[in-house]
Amino acid sequence: MSRLVVKVGGAVAGEAVDHVNRLLAAGHSLCLVHGAGPQISRQMERAGIAVEFVGGRRVTTAEGIAVVRSALGAVNAAICAAIGPRALALGGEEIGLEATPVPELGLVGDPVPCAPAAVLEALAGGFVPVVSPLAVGPLNVNADEAAAALALGLHAERLLFLTDVAGLILDGEVVEEIGIEAAARLLRGGSLEGGIVPKLGAALTAARGGVPASIGRTAVAA
């Protein structure tokens, strides 16, 4: 049985559950990490909190962290309900997800590779841990980066990003495969914008650590 870490974007959480259930039916052991980007932005706008991103990562104030926690909790509950009784809701803050603070972004952190005991116990028991990316602090961590950190810590066979785009798109075409050196050059070049930046960065981190990654149809590997 292969162990996979699957990152589900907040924008496609509902549709992604079908893919997740197919992976479960095929006998894979899964750890899910989800985002809640659109939901957080909507709640922040309603609350009159500025929505600001730097390099694809959300600037998070003390006022905003409560919104982040609320939105993540709602998405987590929806994903768990869609998967069914095998799903186990786990808040990153409660299970000890660690991150290095990034003060220039506010209450934000860079997650570090880890294998929380609660995740290992869930996998051993045949459950599907569904992890919210809020680290101890609390620190808001990018869900893509949290997925990479867990993939490395859990020694996963693969990291999958289920997203609302077909993959890495260059010159209007989906890139089917990219190596780590080419991915690093692309990120350094600064030509990419938006959510693909942290996704490709996280995939690169995982691949460098020995865990191949896929962003939609794009494979990222050493």
Closest CA to 67 of 142, 140, 146, 144: 140
Predicted pLDDT of residue 77 = 93
Q: Which helix (H) or strand (E) holds 121?
A: helix 117-124
Taking the domain 3-164, which CATH number applies? 3.40.1160.10
In contact, 114 and 150? CB cutoff 8 Å:
yes
Which residue is it, tokens 């905003």? Answer: 64
Query: Could you read off the pLDDT tens digit of each residue along the chain, which spans 222 residues?
Result: 699 999 997 656 667 788 888 899 899 999 999 989 889 999 999 999 999 988 777 899 999 999 999 999 999 999 999 889 999 999 999 999 999 999 999 999 999 999 999 999 999 999 999 999 999 999 999 999 999 999 999 999 999 998 888 899 988 899 999 999 999 999 998 888 878 888 999 999 999 999 999 999 999 987
Q: What is the pLDDT of residue 17?
A: 81
Q: What is the pLDDT of residue 10?
A: 61
Domain coordinates of the chain in residue numbers? Answer: 3-164
138 upstream amide cis, omega within 30 of 0 = yes
**Dist CA 58 CA 86 (whole Å):** 31
Closest CA to 146 of 193, 202, 75, 187: 202
> 126-140: b or e for each residue (b if 16 or more CB lie within 10 Å)?
ebbbbbbbbbebbbb
Rounded Cα–Cα distance for residues 33 and 93 (Å)? 13
pLDDT at 41: 94
pLDDT at position 150? 97
